[in-house]
Every structure is written in C-alpha cells, then in structure tokens.
Amino acid sequence: MPAWLECDQCGHDHEIPDRSFESGVGTRCPECGGRSYTVRHEGLESHPDG
C-alpha cells in the first residue's frame, strides 16, 4: 500500500525509507531534520495500528 510520511514540523511529505519505519532507527525529515511525523496512507486517514 502506498504510504508516506508527513513532517509534523514543516509539513514536508516524503517516502518511507527502507525498514526505518519498523526498525525505528530514526526517520528524519529531509527538509528540517524533525523526527516527529505522521504516517499517511493513500485513501486512508492516519491509522497507528496499520
């Protein structure tokens, strides 16, 4: 399923890097370096249990 991350700080959206979503090694916004983000799925609202 297409999914991407939307930065909570600057709103920049970007694709989820390989495995970082599961491993939690620290996904960062490429624009501002923020580590707080919302996971977006195509056609769905944010769903933490996804």
Which residues contact Zn ion by CB under 5 A?
Answer: 7, 9-10, 12, 29, 31-32, 34
The dihedrals phi and psi of 23, each to the nearest 5 degrees, come to -75, -25
Q: Closer to Zn ion by CB, 23 or 31: give it.
A: 31
Cβ 49 to Zn ion shortest distance, Å: 25
Taken in order 40, 41, 47, 50, the sign of the CA dihedral is negative
Cβ 13 to Zn ion shortest distance, Å: 9
- Which one-letter DSSP state was computed for residue 22? H
Q: Closer to Zn ion by CB, 12 or 40: give it.
A: 12
